[in-house]
Amino acid sequence: MSIVTNRKKSPFVLIKIQMLRSPEFRQLSPIAQLLWIYLRANYNPLNPECVNRATGRDQVYASYSELKTIHGFHSSATISKAFSELLNNGWIEVAEKGGLYAGRSAYYFSGPYGQFPLSQKMQHKTFRVGHGRYI
């Protein structure tokens, strides 16, 4: 779930301290903050699914059923409110609309903290899949 997987270290989510201290982030509800951090944790630049081929932008997939397994997201209404808050405040944008029959939705990260430290370095590298993992 972290940006880079290292077998000797525990997984982590890289977040800038200035973002955590920013008034824009602090005005979000705790559940919206948790959702943004969870989406950020699911981003992996080594996974080709995390970059939209048409636009070249970083994206992440999320489904309501997946989010309901996380502490704090008890109902679809709670998840919907958190997504609406992030969308309305410019933290995420809808990349691919999902739904009951269309599958999971994809989201772009936007705003001043939408870019990730490794995404620019790794944007021009190509990765291939070997034996079920990215090499």
Q: Is 16 or 25 the better-scoring residue by pLDDT?
A: 25
Nearest to 72 by CA among 35, 26, 117, 118: 35
Q: How confident is the model at residue 36 (pLDDT cuts 50, 70, 90)?
A: very high
Nearest to 91 by CA among 48, 36, 31, 38: 36
- Residue 22: exposed, middle, or buried by beta-carbon count in 10 A (0-12, 13-18, 19+)? middle
**Can you tell me the mean pLDDT for 67-78?**
86
Average pLDDT, stretch 91-108?
83
Alpha carbons within 13 angstroms on the beta-carbon side of residue 116 total 27
Q: What is the pLDDT of residues 82-99, one digit of tens each?
A: 999 999 999 999 988 877
* Spatial CB neighbours of 76, under 8 Å, sequence gap ≥ 6: 64, 68
pLDDT digits 0-9 by tens, 120-132? 545 555 555 555 5
CATH entry 1.10.10.10 includes domain 25-122: yes
Mean pLDDT within 49-70:
84
